Every structure is written in C-alpha cells, then in structure tokens.
Amino acid sequence: MRPIFRFALPLALCLSPLTASALDIQPGVWEVSSHNMQVGGQAMPGMEQMLAQMQNLPPEQRQMMESMMAERGIKLGAGGVQMCLTAEQIAAQDIPLHDPESGCSNEILERSDQRWRFRFTCPDAQGEGETQFVSDREFTTKVTGTYNGQPSSMESRARWVGADCGSLRRQ
C-alpha cells in the first residue's frame, strides 16, 4: 500500500469525528469528505487523492480494505466516506463521533441546534473541533490538535446522500 494512503486515510478517519446533533437532520446515508488536512505544517492528500489511490490498489488489497470498512459500517463513496445515520440515532442524539474500535473518546463542550464544539482524544491524536449545521442535509467540521505529536488540522464536509442505507446498516 502506498505510504501516503496508509498515513492519510487513518488520519482523515481519526480527525473527522462524525458529529451530528440537530434533531432535524435527515436519516440515511451521509458522505463525509475531508480537505485542508495538515500535519506538522505539511499538507496531506485530499479525499480525491485517497479515493484515487484506493482505486489503484491491487484487487486483493482493495477487497481487504473494503471488507475492513464494511465491518465498521462504512464504505467509500464517490466523494468520501459513507455511513448510515438512523432516525433512532438522530432522535436520541446518539451519533457516533468515532469508530468504537478506534480507542477514541470525546467530550461535547457546547451543543446547540446550529453548532457543536467538542474535544477528542485518540491513541495517536487529540484536539478540539467545531461542527456547523448548514441545513438538514449538510454540516461542516473543523478540527485542530495534534497527530503523533505534531500540530494537525482538517476540515470536512458531510452531505446527505439518500434515505436508504442498504448494506451500510450494521447488523
């Protein structure tokens, strides 16, 4: 696997807590794309580059990556990482802020209908972020902190793709 892909995809998944809380966001498939990602002052590949690298992996490696993501309830979409948010999760404001197997924890510092501020700690990263709810079908997140001891930052955009989660729903 290419070094950039091996480094950037985990970083994007770690630094982009999927934060959604407004009770009026749409349930279904959400696609999160990351951009303006930096570690130690160096720009990291954007989501388009990571998706292109995934397409160029040997079939066995690509299948292995897709299987690992499917086990966690995510898949790569045309423009980012896709996951399912159910109506029950949204109503209970029980939205996954990170992969349960990541070793990450988070704390909500402030919550309103239009904005969430949060703090997160992961094995290799820590920091704070803010999510702005643009509409019931879009929200943006900005995160700053450290990754492997180096200053890091990232922006992401989540957009609603559709109501049918299909195979994304965890069993």
Range of the domain at 57: 3-163
- Specify the number of domains making up the chain: 1
- Within 10 Å of residue 52's Cβ, how many Cβ atoms? 12
Q: 61 in a domain, yes or no?
A: yes
pLDDT of residue 27: 92
Q: 92 in a domain, yes or no?
A: yes
Q: 171 in a domain, yes or no?
A: no
> Does this model's pTM top 0.85?
no
120 strand-pairing partners = 106, 127
Q: 110 in a domain, yes or no?
A: yes
pLDDT of residue 171: 36
pLDDT of residue 53: 85
Question: Using alpha carbons only, what angle is made at residue 86 by residues 117 and 100, rounded to the nearest 5 degrees?
Answer: 60
Q: 169 in a domain, yes or no?
A: no
Q: 85 in a domain, yes or no?
A: yes
- DSSP letters, the chain, are --HHHHHHHHHHHHH-------TTSPPEEEEEEEEEEEETTEEPPPHHHHHHHHHTS-HHHHHHHHHHHHHTTEEE-SSSEEEEE-HHHHHHT---SS-TTTT-EEEEEEE-SSEEEEEEE-SSEEEEEEEEEEETTEEEEEEEEEETTEEEEEEEEEEEEES--GGGS--
Cβ neighbours for 60, distance < 8 A, ≥ 6 positions apart: none
Q: What amino acid occupies position 22?
A: A
Q: 82 in a domain, yes or no?
A: yes
The mean pLDDT values, 10 residues at a time, for the chain of 171 residues are 45 48 77 91 85 87 88 85 87 66 82 88 91 91 93 94 83 36
Q: 21 in a domain, yes or no?
A: yes
Q: How far apart (Å, rounded) are the C-alpha atoms in residues 77 and 165?
A: 13
